[in-house]
Amino acid sequence: MKYDVNQLTLEEKIALLTGINEWQTSSANGKLPQIFVSDGPNGLQMFDENGVRKSATAMPALSLLAQTWDKELAYLDGETIANDAAEKGADILLAPGVNIKRTPLNGRNFEYFSEDPYLSGVLAREFIKGVQSRGIGTSLKHFCGNNREKGRRVQSSEIDERALNEIYYRPFEIALEAKPWTVMCAYNPVNGVYASENKKLLKGVLRDKFGFDGLIVSDWASVQSSYKALKATIDLIMPYNEDTLPNVKAALEKGYITMEEIDACVTNVLKLIEKVQNANKQINYTKKERHENAVKIAKAGITLLKNEENILPLKDGGNYLVVGDLSKKPIGGLGSAYVQTDYEQKTVTELLQEKLPNAQVGYDKGACACADWAGANRVKLEYAKRCYVEAYGKDAVVVFVSGDTEGESFDRSHIKLKREYEELIENLLKYNKNLIIVVNSASAIDMSDWIDDVKAVVYEGFSGEGTNEALSSILVGETNPSGKLAESFPYDLDDTFTGDYAGDGFVEWYNDSIFVGYRYYERAGIDVLFPFGYGLSYSKFAYSNLKIEQTDKTDFTVSYDITNTSDVDGAEVSQVYVKDVFSMVVRPEQELKGFEKTFLKAGETKTVSVKLDFRSFAYYSTALDRWHAENGVFEIRIGASSQDIRLVGKVNIELEDDEQQSQAFVYYNN
């Protein structure tokens, strides 16, 4: 190794174990290059020396990327952000976040992928590969159990072993296959011990079980005691922590921490510095191409939820009204994932008029100019009347709405639309039934009060600087929507497991255990408004010809045909779910274990192939302390969504005991 821990004095070693400010590591009195880290998952968030955000490409949020179900686009997303990072001098991108969407209230759900660990892990893995392909490191975060913002710095997530392994560790375990340079610990305690001091979590699971050999960085100001964090194998305490030097020196003198433990952390920092030095940072997209990549991902992730009477796509020559200022400047999520872009989007109204030159496309701010409505001076009646008059008689009215604000350090207070938007829809319906609702939110919305009365719903998500281009392209049919939900949409917050309960401030007991998202709704027999994996297209797809070939004891190749039976080219996300038919332990009704996105021309048929292996059938046995696949029958279900199963096959697993051992990822040589 180029840098030797013995070159450093004790003070220099300890200084290396914390930042020198928010974003940089120490140079150890000029002996070492510094590392520059920067957020975030939805694009580069970097500040100049005056603390002003530098502009960067505002990519769609990871929640929107997840709705693409496209591994190649996940790679492209990471690669694109890495271009900005390389250009602006960041060495490590503090992303992706893979925390599971356990409650739709979580303020940071927009930054995360899914309620399902497999979808989250696979897309995060490809995102990491994309970032690191450009010589920029990543930070897989937040390990673990950070599933809401309320109380994140104090409230312990009390999670059982099966849920940890099958749900909360799992996306990290899968994403680690891409060898992220760093992993970031979570703020919260897990089972009573802060993640930053939780040696079982960081060393026992991350390093010893999953084989992670990179650097573990704390979340920002998440460290309570520096020496305890280092003993738990946190290598880098961020940002600069003035307590670290006195705290670690005192602990060393008292024998609470050894020089070997300190040197082990220092060595990991030196390894990271070397990795950064040896990295070949490459820029392969121009600024314009990065923007185009953002548009491409947005087009593939925006999800069509309802399209009654095929009111979409809009027709040239039609008479339309666009309502709401979110059609001009869509919102995104707040906090460390916020991205400052200098890209000026055209409005949806302008774009629709360009794309439909013979149409009439009007605009109205809407009767709920939010600032007016929320403030004391409720909007004047004539504003409302003007909007309704404008809407009256139009072929369609495209209404832009959003839910409660989403961001870091707070959770949503409800999952409906903002009240003024619900009233707007209610009032507009009196003057025009042909409403197309565009939802500019990034977490599940309870639409039950109005969904039956409107003709179409497009879930726009937080789609970054390419939102309006992507959305307009879908509205006029230039782009055939192909996004599918990566989280279930419940009818009502009370249908969710946690409801509005958010723990008692000290502890939140995850007594839903493994039953999270669709796993919960299906087991509890609770209908949802839109199921996990649901999304409409302008095309129709037929599934046929399921074949299952056994290639080894628990290895199978599942293949099936998809036909685009429409006259419109499109893309279909097919999903592979596995059900343990006769299980000796409680298990979900079914679990996602494979997926593919297939582009099909009108009338075209393609054969899709998905591989299943031991982990597709196994559950985590707390009795055996390893993954275990019971012998017996399993159903293989091919679905257009978790609730729209098109093909079903069966396989039989027959493993000898010794094969069980060899197949499982045996953690502790038992």
Contact 638, 575 (CB under 8 A): yes
Task: Check binding of 219 to ligand GLC (CB under 6 A).
Answer: yes
CB of 187 to ligand GLC, least distance (A): 7
Q: How far is the CB of 434 from ligand GLC (least distance, A)?
A: 42
Footprint on residues 352-371 left by ligand GLC (CB under 6 A): none
Nearer to ligand GLC, 195 or 262 (CB): 195
| CA-wise closest residue to 75 among 273, 300, 288, 277 | 300
- Whole-number Å distance between alpha carbons of 352 and 328: 12
- Site map 367..406 versus ligand GLC, x via CB under 6 A: ----------------------------------------
Helix (H, G, I), strand (E, B) or coil at 560: strand
Count residues near ligand GLC (CB under 6 A): 6
Q: What is the nearest approach in angstroms of ligand GLC to the Cβ of residue 107?
A: 11
- What is the per-residue DSSP string for 583-645? -SS---S-EEEEEEEEEE-TT-EEEEEEEE-HHHH-EEETTTTEEE--SEEEEEEEEEETTEE
Which residues inside 66-95 make contact with ligand GLC, applying CB under 6 A? Answer: 94
Residue 298, C-beta contacts closer than 8 angstroms, at least 6 positions apart: 60, 64, 463, 464, 466, 467, 469, 470, 471
Distance CA 217, CA 670 (A): 31
Question: Which lies closer to ligand GLC via its Cβ, residue 186 or residue 351?
Answer: 186
Q: Which two tokens stand for residue 486?
A: 């990566």
Q: Which is nearer to ligand GLC, 120 or 554 (CB)?
A: 120
Name the residue with tokens 């992303």: 95
Which of 58, 149, 61 has the alpha carbon at shortest distance from 108? 149
Cβ 141 to ligand GLC, closest distance in Å? 5
Q: Does 220 bind ligand GLC (CB under 6 A)?
A: yes
Smaller CB separation from ligand GLC, 52 or 524: 52
- Residues between 6 and 25 with contacts to ligand GLC, criterion CB under 6 A: none
Which of 192, 161, 174, 34 has its CA nearest to residue 117?
174
The amino acid present at 587, given as its one-letter code, is: R
- Cα-based distances in Å from 219 to 223, 333, 499: 8, 19, 28
Smallest separation, CB 218 to ligand GLC (Å) = 9
C-beta of 63 vs 327, nearer to ligand GLC:
63
The verdict on 411 binding ligand GLC (CB under 6 A) reads no
Q: What share of the chain is helix, strand, coil (3-state, %, to 5)?
A: 30, 25, 45
CB of 336 to ligand GLC, least distance (A): 4
The answer to whether 461 touches 406, Cβ cutoff 8 Å, is: no
- Please, what is the minimum distance in Å from the beta carbon of residue 466 to ligand GLC? 23
* Nearest CB to ligand GLC, comparing residues 219 and 630: 219
Strands (E), 241-378: 303-307, 319-323, 360-364
Residues 30-49 that bind ligand GLC (CB under 6 A): 39
How many Å is the Cα radius of gyration of the chain? Answer: 25
Rounded least distance, CB 290 to ligand GLC, Å: 21
Least distance to ligand GLC, CB of residue 94, Å = 4
Nearer to ligand GLC, 94 or 178 (CB): 94
DSSP string, 570-583: EEEEEEEEEEESS-
- CA distances to 10, 221, 276 from 34, rounded to whole Å, are 18, 20, 9
Give me the residue label for tokens 């995104």.
Answer: 332
DSSP one-letter code for 219? P
User: Would residue 411 show up in a list of annotated catalytic residues for this protein?
Assistant: no
Nearer to ligand GLC, 219 or 572 (CB): 219
Calpha distance 203→258 (Å, rounded): 16
Would you say 91 or 580 has its CB closer to ligand GLC? 91
Residue 436 Cβ vs ligand GLC, minimum distance, rounded to whole Å = 35
Select which of 219, 404, 411, 580 is catalytic.
219
Tokens of 502: 């958010």
Considering the complex, what minimum distance in angstroms separates the CB of residue 22 from ligand GLC?
A: 7
Give me 648's structure tokens.
Answer: 């079903």
Q: Does 336 bind ligand GLC (CB under 6 A)?
A: yes
Q: Is 195 in the site for ligand GLC (CB under 6 A)?
A: no
Q: State the distance between the two ends of the chain, measured CA to CA, in whole angstroms.
A: 35
Report yes or no: 120 and 100 within 8 Å, Cβ to Cβ.
yes
Q: Which is nearer to ligand GLC, 409 or 583 (CB)?
A: 409
Q: Are 330 and 468 in contact (CB under 8 A)?
A: yes
Q: Which of 141, 231, 306, 593 binds ligand GLC (CB under 6 A)?
A: 141
State which residue, 128 or 636, has the beta carbon closest to ligand GLC.
128
CB of 108 to ligand GLC, least distance (A): 8
Q: Bridge-partner residues for 334, per DSSP?
A: 407
Pairing mode of beta strands 137-143, 182-185: parallel
Do 574 and 638 meet the contact criterion of CB atoms below 8 Å apart?
Answer: yes
- Say how far apart CA 53 and CA 47 lie, in whole Å: 4
Whichever of 337 and 396 has its CB closer to ligand GLC, that residue is: 337
Write out the catalytic residue numbers: 219
Binding positions for ligand GLC, rule: CB under 6 A: 39, 94, 141, 219-220, 336
